[in-house]
Amino acid sequence: MGKRSFLAGAAVSLTLASIALVPGTASAHSTPHQDQYKRVGYFIQWGIYGRQYYVKNLETSGQAARLTHINYAFGNVDASGKCASADPWADWQRPVGAEESVDGVADEPGQALAGNFNQLLKLKKKHPNLKVLLSLGGWTLSANFSNAVLTDESRKALVKSCIETFWNTGVFDGFDFDWEWPGSEGNPGNVIRPEDKQNFTLMVAEFRKQLGKKATLTAFLPANPAKIDAGFEVKKIFKYLDFATIQGYDFHGTWETTTNQQSALFIPRNNPTTPDFSGATTLKAYTDRGAPKKALVLGIPYYGQGWTGVTNANRGLFQPATGPAPATWAAGNEDYKVLATLPQQGYKVYHDPLSGSAWLFNGTTFWTFDDPLVVAQKSLYIRLGGYGGAMVWSLDGDDANGTLTKTIYSTLR
């Protein structure tokens, strides 16, 4: 039996066991000594607005009890090359009422630390083994990294400012570097230099030097081999990083006119894109370049990519489309918690267990996404392959019972 076939069959059994955990019937009582795997989730700063997703939701959903790390997204590197808050109101100024508070206690008027930061402190009191990292950058806040890390002096100043702005709040246990991307194109307007590759290493080394071993340092790394080679000295950076989270999604999306998988574990058969990306090939790209397996944490999406005007053939897969599917916040992008309800609205869910992928199709609209079966299969692959764990973008995409997070926890602990 091949690895794909074994994983496909085993994932079915594993998922049945995982689903039994929902809603919240399983205990979550592991300690750092028991946690063999990293279970990392991104919490988005702006979720408190339209999404009305608060730090308290991490507690009520059961997610906080089943995570080892929360990455708070995002902190900014500003035009002066210093760390800065992207939204001080959300981070530490906003008074949080009792109904939104982790412990049910409202903030006092004028208290020094309020907002999400104070709620994260309250969450950590409930879960003393949970680490919270400040994630720097992201797609829209990576413009100034290259300038900020250009010289030894500028790197020292950047780290000093990050310590003063974020570390000294007492909220964070370290930093996650989400520079998208050193040495290659990211968001339009980003400063890019060939020497970004070496300077990324020097930046991480400077963080380690100033913060010492007490801090957890991680990085989000790309799937595209060209971006890996342009921006990262893979073997060197793991001398300073505790681990890295690896892009396991956005392999395809509505910037293309043909439906496709966005996060398959293995490259699907008959895929029209050659070469293509997958979770397994991305992990191998890093081990081939000298990364230790246990330091690689595979990213899993809690959202789907969707197209509409899709030709009704091949169950919607690999078909031409007229554009992005309508969605809640942005066309072509929808949370798992919403996609999970579509089978009750005329959609059929399809699985390709040999590639570790799933999609929804109603004859005209197509969504590629990860459901509990796919998440279980990926978790099993991580475990059997000797990798370090799973990361998710982002926690607000899960349902109110934390179904996907509990599925990961059932295998990776």
Q: Tokens for 80?
A: 């002066």
For residue 180, indicate whether it is catalytic: yes
Q: Specify the DSSP class assigned to residue 108.
A: P
Write down the catalytic residue from 59, 100, 180, 206: 180
CA 83 to chain centre: 21
Main-chain phi, psi angles of 304, to 5 degrees: -125, 160
Give the DSSP letter string of 89-157: IIIIISPPPGGGSTTS-PPPTT-SS-HHHHHHHHHHHH-TT-EEEEEEE-TTS-TTHHHHTSSHHHHHH
3-state SS class at 160? helix
Q: What is the dihedral of CA 287, 291, 294, 295, to 10 degrees?
A: -130
Specify the residue for token string 């206690």: 105
Percent composition of the chain: helix, strand, coil (DSSP 3-state, to 5): 35, 20, 45
Strands (E), 206-288: 216-221, 243-246
Helix (H) or strand (E) holding 407: helix 403-411
Nearest to 252 by CA among 286, 287, 223: 223
Q: Is the dihedral of CA 27, 33, 36, 40 positive or negative?
A: positive
Q: Tokens for 33?
A: 């000594």
Give the C-alpha distances (Å, rounded to integers) separating 383 from 3, 253, 379, 387.
13, 28, 6, 6
Q: How big is the chain by its Cα radius of gyration, in Å?
A: 21
- Just list the catalytic residues: 180
